[in-house]
Chain A
Amino acid sequence: MMILSNAAYAEWSGNVSARVEIFKNEPINDDQKRGYASLSMTPKYSMIWDDNRQLFGLEVFARVNQHVPNSADIRELSWIYTASEWEFRAGIRKVFWGVTESQHLVDIINQTDFTESFDGEEKLGQPMLNLAIIRDWGTVDLFVLPWFRERRFPHTDARLGFPLPIASQARFESKQAEKHIDYAARWSHYVGDWDIGLSHFYGTSREPKLVASAASGKLDPVYDLIHQTGLDIQATLENWLWKLEAIRRDGEDEDYFAATAGFEYSFFDVKGSGADIGIVTEYLYDERGREAPTPFQNDTMLGIRVALNDEQSTDALVGAIVDNDGNGTVLSLEANRRIGQNFKLTINGYLFTHTEPDDPIHNYANEDYVKIDLGYYF
């Protein structure tokens, strides 16, 4: 399985997963279904050599769907060179920034793949050159992002879509369209109990405006050029994790501030059982209020996380996001359990118990569903 002398290392790994999605209600559109099935494959290859100084990584993703078009992506195809005070990383990669759980405002390098998951946690690989400068006073990451990836939206035959179809042709503020070179920089550091990150991005927004086109009867994705400054802080104080993410975005026709702030408190080894219970609370704010394309303009997220820390690594997160303007409520569940040594079962569920007509989440009023993934890992 593994070739190892800790000096050189090369290995294949990955997973093959079967997925079933079941919706509680009949679809509104005739081409949509109550149930969807699909099969995905994620092979990965990694290689380390040159006394741990050089790394190569490959990760390919493909999904074969029963009712909607198949999808694929190169999630990673990268080379890393490591020196004592810097690292150079080139190729297609995924980069995550931030600390909060309910949404990821600061995280901006990679595009979101909404065909994969409604919660926006699935990302597309991003071509980049990244130099990390590593000093006593922190790490500075400099990014050049030479190719833009368009957001993937659910197909019209899929559920959890939009009231109008999304046009396949996007519009860009930059004349270079997806060839516009984007730049980003981030300083991150930790001092004692504090982890902090300060970042800036200039380039094509990953989040398009969806503009209704009278001519085509579709929604045109329009990608503006933006500046976004982000701050993320976590204080880890005993059983408390205090978290803050804040962004300021300046674009062609919108300048705004948004933030997520909250805490997670954990009860460890409850009554000597080995299990942990965590309470998560976050406040989600967007200065644009109801004008914002996000439903999370003035919302509160409450969650309970349970990790049994057993042999099967059983865990679950039950959450609610409640809109403080009106009564909109989304309930969510995510649960994981290993079966045997190589299988893992994941269950995700969403209940849109109440939505307000002027909230973007109203689109999903009819979309209560459960998603079950059974993966074989190797």
Chain B
Amino acid sequence: MKKQLLIIMLLALLPFELFAATAEERGFEIAQEADRRDSGWKDSIANIIMTLRNKQGAESVRENRSRALEMIGDGDKSIIVFDSPADVKGTAFLSHTHVKKSDDQWLFLPALKRIKRISSSNKSGPFMGSEFSYEDISSQELEKYRYKYLNDEIVEGRDAFVIERFPEYEKSGYSKQVVWVDKEMYQPLKIMFYDRKDTLLKTLMYHDYELYEGKFWRSLRMEMENHQTGKSTTLAWQGYKFGNGFDERDFDKNALKRMR
């Protein structure tokens, strides 16, 4: 009893910053654990069906195929091939993400057979006219954010850590994101995005998690809602397949030209 009282008194003497640092450390630890559990997937392919909905509820659909390669010690590599709308069919987007420096991105335009290196400074702009921005679809590397643990909450009936993360890279469209991380899967259940003026911009909900290779959880349906425009986008993932034996050659400019 006496001992406990002494500890409480000693704790009260500690500077406030230490508790704040603890929340940040805790936030980082959760993100680090999520990153650790999701490493070793090597490569994956999937079909993505994107449904865009405007304020009035009118829908338009675009279909893509994606392939991704996990890189150790650097950001991941990916190619997204557009299948529809038909006028952009065969257009392919190659991305080499990096942890510290800016990403390398190329676009293949099939009508001209031309590869264009494009600026990766476009972080906050919409990807294919959707409510997902380029930074939302980019590889989520641990070092891209500063973290802060907030509290525990139940979301969609599941126990979750609530953490804030603050983009450390330039030109982000966000001041912060609040992420609900599932305590069992260590995967996001919900993300709320705040714009540069710190106003709520978008909410992303992750549904239909499936376990692959006995280890990697993937959400097969993501719902992004823009609170400021009333528009929304659904990303439905089909045919996830891991262990395709890809290497870096499958993610170079020659490979990009071969995409169909």
A-side residues, CB < 8 A to B, are 1-2, 4, 6, 9, 11, 13, 15, 46, 48, 55, 57, 80, 82, 84-85, 87, 93-96, 99, 121, 132, 134, 139, 188, 190, 192-193, 195, 234, 236, 238-241, 266, 268-269, 272, 274, 276, 309-313, 338, 341-342, 344, 375, 377-378
Contacts and interface: CB of A to CB of B under 8 A. Distances in A.
Contact of A239 (B88, B89, B119): B119
Nearest to B246: A52
Given A139-B253, A272-B173, A338 B85 contact: yes
A2 B121 CA distance: 34
B117 A342 contact: no
B89 A269 contact: no
Nearest to B171: A268
B45 interface: yes
Nearest to B89: A13
Given A96-B113, A309-B126, A313-B88, A4 B258 contact: no
A91 to B, nearest CB: 14
A309 B117 contact: no
24 contacts: A1-B83, A4-B65, A4-B239, A6-B239, A9-B260, A13-B89, A13-B90, A87-B254, A94-B113, A96-B113, A134-B252, A190-B104, A192-B101, A236-B104, A268-B122, A268-B123, A269-B126, A272-B173, A272-B195, A309-B125, A312-B129, A313-B88, A313-B129, A341-B61
Contacts of B118: 236
B125 A276 contact: yes
A2 B52 CA distance: 21
| Chain B interface, >50% SS class | mixed
B112 interface: yes
Contacts of B260: 9, 11, 46, 48, 55, 57
Given A4-B47, A9-B260, A311 B87 contact: no
Interface in B1-41: none
B82 to A, nearest CB: 11
A269 B86 contact: no
Interface string B44-71: 0101000010100000110001010000
Contacts of A239: 119, 121
A268 B135 CA distance: 13
Contacts of A311: 52, 54, 60, 129
Contacts of A15: 86-87
B117 A195 contact: yes
B25 to A, nearest CB: 33
Interface of B: 45, 47, 52, 54, 60-61, 65, 67, 83-90, 101-102, 104, 112-115, 117-126, 129, 133, 171, 173, 195, 239, 241, 244, 247, 249, 252-254, 258, 260
A268 B124 contact: yes
A134 B125 contact: no
A236 B86 contact: no
Given A87-B254, A236-B118, A311-B60, A2 B87 contact: no
Contact of A341 (B45, B83, B85, B101): B85
Contacts of A313: 85, 87-88, 129
A269 B124 contact: yes
A311 B128 CA distance: 7
Contacts of A134: 249, 252, 254
Q: Name which of B117, B119, B124 has the most chain A CB atoms within 10 A of its CB.
A: B119
B157 to A, nearest CB: 34
Contacts of B249: 84-85, 134
Contacts of A193: 104
A132 B119 contact: no
A1 B61 CA distance: 14
B86 A341 contact: yes
Given A4-B47, A378-B86, A82 B122 contact: no
B89 A238 contact: no
A341 B84 contact: yes
Contact of A241 (B65, B67, B119): B119
**Most A CB atoms within 10 A — which of B118, B195, B253?**
B253
Nearest to B109: A96
Contacts of A82: 258
Contacts of A269: 122, 124-126, 133, 173
Most buried by B among A9, A96, A276: A96
Contacts of B61: 341
Contact of A375 (B87, B114, B239): B87
A2 B63 CA distance: 11
A280 B31 CA distance: 42
B258 A55 contact: yes
A6 B64 CA distance: 12
- Which one of B126, B171, B239, B247 has the highest number of Cβ atoms from chain A below 10 Å of its Cβ? B126
Contacts of B112: 96, 121
Contacts of B88: 313
Given A4-B47, A6-B45, A87-B254, A238 B121 contact: yes
Smallest CB-CB A-B distances: 6 pairs: A377-B86, A268-B122, A269-B125, A344-B87, A377-B87, A96-B114
Contact of B129 (A6, A266, A310): A310
B125 A274 contact: yes
A312 B47 CA distance: 22
A134 B253 CA distance: 10
Nearest to A238: B121
A312 B128 CA distance: 10
Contacts of A338: 85, 87
A82 B252 CA distance: 13
Contacts of A238: 102, 119, 121
A82 B247 CA distance: 14
Most buried by B among A121, A192, A268, A310: A268
